[in-house]
Structure 1
C-alpha cells in the first residue's frame, strides 16, 4: 500500500506527548464501517484492534446506529447522572432478561462512571467497605486501569511509574503458569495467608482477569480459576473478575468466566457493553454486598443514556439467542488458531508461542522487539494490530466478533506476510 505523508502538524504541535496509538498508525482516520477503517486519503485498513475491545460488533454497526439516531432525533435524554430514565430502564430490563437471568446470576447493577477504571475503582472500594480490610491481591502481568486504585493492582512497571506516588494496599501473586507449572497452584498464596509472620495483611478481595489482554494474552485455565474461587471462599475473600476487555462475548460466552463455571462476587464490565464504542461501565455484585449509602460513590457521567440505547440494541440483536453468537465466536477463533498454527510452523525458530481464546489471540516471538516490527509492517499492508505484554513482545489480535470469514482470512494473510517480511528485515 502506498501511503502519502499525512498532515499531522496540529497533533504534533498541540496534542500532548502522551499520545500512543497514533504513533504506531501514522495516518489520519476519517470513517469506518464494520471491520474496516478508512483514512482521509481513502486507504482501507482491516481492523484487528476493535477499539481495544470496545467495538465487538464493529464500527458504526447499522442496527445500533439506527437505534441511536432515532433516540437523538426524538430528543431523548442525553445526560441524567443517575436519574431514572426510559433508556436506563430499558437497558436494565434487557440486561436482566437476556444476560443475568439465563445464567442464573443474581447481581445488582451499579453505574460507576464512563470507563473501565471507574468500574474497577468502585469494585475495590466496595470490597474494602464490605470486608473492613484494605489489602487487595492481584496477579503478575495484570492490567486494571490507569487511575491510582487500579494502578495499585496493575503489574506493568511502566504504567505504575506514571502514578508518581506510592501504590499501596495491593499485593501481586503468580498468575496461572507464571512459574511454568513447577509449583502447585496457589502454594505461595496459601502459605502467606496461613503464616502470621508472612507480612501479608488479610485481603479483602482478589481481582483477576481470566485472560490478561494487556499483559500478553495470558489465558487462565478453568481449573485454575475454580481453584482461585475455592480459595477465596475458604479464606473469606471476595472474588472480583475484571471482564472489561474479555467480557461481552469476546471469549465466547457473554462473560469470560462462564467456561470455568464460577460465579464471582463482583464483576467489572465496560468497553463493548455499550456496543457502539460509547463510554459506559458496570460494576455487578451479589445483592448482599450492596451496602452503599446513597451518593457514597457517584460521578457526573455515570448515566450515559445514548450508551444505554445502543447497549440495549446490541443485547437484543446479538444475545436474544446467546448460543448463536457464542458458536460464531468460537468458530472464528478456530479459524484464527489454524492460521497461527501455520504461521508458527512456517517460522518455527522465531515464534515462541501463540495463545488465546475465542477472538482474542497473541503471537509471541523469541526476539522481544519482533512484535513491534510485525505490527508496523502489518499497518503498511493495511492491517491494524497492536502489541501487548510487559515489553510489547506479543502481537495481539482483537477483531470484531462480527467480522466475516473472508475478512478474517484477509487479515490473517496480511499478518502472515508481515511476519515473513520482518524476518527478511533482520537477515
Structure 2
C-alpha cells in the first residue's frame, strides 16, 4: 500500500492553482468517481468517505434516486438558471418544503434564496436582523464558524480565518459558548450581566447567532438546557435568535433541524450544504413571517435560482423526510459511532470522544496527533478531516445513508490509525 509521500497530484496544481488550496494537500490523489459512501481515484483505488463534502452529501455520492430525478429533468431541457423567476422546479420545491418540513414543525416561516452557499445564507440573516431591529451589533460565540465572506467572518471565532479579511471585523461581540469555562462558571453570567450593566459597554444587539454543534470549532455540543436558556434570554430582551444549521441541519444530528431536540424556535435559520441533497449549490435563509421586511431586490444574487438543485432537494425531502424513520435510523447509527469512539478513547490516554448524531469525533490533548491520525486513515483508504482551534479533533461526517458494515469498517480503520499515530 502506498504511503502518503508516494501519492502525487498532476503538476498543473502546483503550477497553476493558488496556494490557498487545502483538501488536495491532505489527500493528494486525483479523484475520478463516486458512489454512495465511496470515492475512487484515477488509479482505481477506493476511499471510504467519512467527510461527505464537509456535510454537503448527507445522502451519499450520486444517490440513485436523486440522480434519476436530475437526469430526467435535464434530459427534458428544463430551466437551469433562472435568477428568482418562478419555475416549475422552484414551485415544486417550495410546496414540498412547506408540506414536509415547515408545516409539521409549526414553522410559519418565509423562505429566502440568498445565493448558493452557506455564507450567503448567513450574510442575508445578519443583514435582515439589522434591518428589522435597527441595531448593528451581533453576538456570536467562541470557536464559532459561520463562513468566509466579511459579514460571516465577523461572527466567526477562528483567528487564522479572521486574519484573512485584511480589515477590522466589527459590529460583533463574542460570548463564551456552552462549557467554554469547563463548567467552572455558568456561561450566561457574563452575557446577562453586561446587558443589564450601564457600564458593561455592550449595546443591545440585533441578534445572537449560534450553532447547536460547532462543527469546524471542534464538535462542541451545546446542551439542550443551554440552548433553551439562550432562546429565552433572546425572547425576553427582544433579540433575534439565528440558528446556523448549514452543517448540522438536514438530519446530521437526527431530526431535520438540529435545534429540534432542544424544543426551541429560532427567529431565523440558515441552511445550505445538504439541502440540495446531491451536492449541488443551494442555500436558504428561513425567518418568521413578520420579519419579511425586504424590499424587492434588496438582497439578491445571480445564482440563487439553481433549478437542478431544487429538483434534487425536492426528491430528497420526499425520499427521506416523509416521516421519522430516517431520523431515527440516523440516531441509531450515531449511537453506534459514539460507542465505538468511546471504546477507542478508553483505550488511550488523553483522548475523548465528542459529537452528536452522525457528527462525531475524537479530541486529542496533543493536537498534532489528530493530523497524524487523518494521514494514517487516508493511507488506509478512509477520508476524514481535523477541526477545532488547534486542529485537535478528528471529525467524522459520513453520509447518513452509510450502511452499518461500512461505518464499522471505517471506525476499525480509525482505531488502527490512532494506534499507528500514537506508536
Q: TM-score range by the shorter chain?
A: over 0.9
* Cα distance in 2 between the residues matched to 1:194 and 1:25: 50
Q: Measure how far apart 1:6 and its partner are.
A: 3.1
Q: Measure how far apart 1:196 and its partner are.
A: 1.3
Q: Measure how far apart 1:184 and its partner are.
A: 2.0
* Cα distance in 2 between the residues matched to 1:318 and 1:72: 22
Partner of 2:353: 354
* Cα distance in 2 between the residues matched to 1:56 and 1:365: 26
Q: 1:7 to 1:386 in 2, by over 3 A?
A: closer
Q: Measure how far apart 1:345 and its partner are.
A: 1.6
Partner of 1:103: 105
* Cα distance in 2 between the residues matched to 1:67 and 1:304: 15
Deviations 1:368-391 (A, max 9, x none): 110000000000000000000011
| 2:55 maps to which of 47, 53, 56 | 53
* Cα distance in 2 between the residues matched to 1:18 and 1:2: 26
Partner of 1:71: 73
* Cα distance in 2 between the residues matched to 1:32 and 1:64: 14
Say if 2:371 and 2:391, in contact at 8 Å, map to a contact too.
Answer: yes
Structure 2 residue 154 is matched with structure 1 residue 152: yes
Q: Measure how far apart 1:42 and its partner are.
A: 0.4
Partner of 2:119: 117
Task: Describe the SS at the equivalent of 1:57.
Answer: coil
Deviations 1:302-351 (A, max 9, x none): 00000000000000000012x1011110010011011111101211x131
Partner of 1:329: 330
Q: Measure how far apart 1:202 and its partner are.
A: 1.3
Q: Measure how far apart 1:403 and its partner are.
A: 0.2
Partner of 1:94: 96
Superposition pairs of residues 35-46 of structure 1, within 5 angstroms: 35-46=37-48
Partner of 1:166: 168
Task: Describe the SS at the equivalent of 1:81.
Answer: coil
Where has structure 1 moved over 6 Å in runs of 4 or more?
Answer: none
* Cα distance in 2 between the residues matched to 1:341 and 1:151: 33
Say if 2:9 and 2:28, in contact at 8 Å, map to a contact too.
Answer: no
Superposition pairs of residues 345-384 of structure 1, within 5 angstroms: 345-347=346-348, 349-351=349-351, 353-384=352-383
Q: 1:220 to 1:13 in 2, by over 3 A?
A: same
Partner of 1:342: 343
Q: Measure how far apart 1:185 and its partner are.
A: 3.5
Moved more, 353-362 or 3-12: 3-12
Cα RMSD, aligned residues only: 0.8
Q: Measure how far apart 1:5 and its partner are.
A: 3.6
Q: Measure how far apart 1:294 and its partner are.
A: 0.4
Q: Is there any run of 5+ residues in structure 1 with no aligned partner, and where?
A: none
* Cα distance in 2 between the residues matched to 1:237 and 1:379: 45
| 1:203 maps to which of 200, 205, 209 | 205
| 1:293 maps to which of 289, 292, 295 | 295
Task: Describe the SS at the equivalent of 2:285.
Answer: strand
Say if 2:177 and 2:187, in contact at 8 Å, map to a contact too.
Answer: no
* Cα distance in 2 between the residues matched to 1:225 and 1:301: 34
Moved more, 116-125 or 358-367: 358-367
* Cα distance in 2 between the residues matched to 1:191 and 1:7: 54
Task: Describe the SS at the equivalent of 1:277.
Answer: coil
Task: Describe the SS at the equivalent of 2:254.
Answer: coil
So what's the TM-score if we normalise by structure 1?
0.98
* Cα distance in 1 between the residues matched to 2:303 and 2:203: 35
* Cα distance in 2 between the residues matched to 1:342 and 1:272: 30
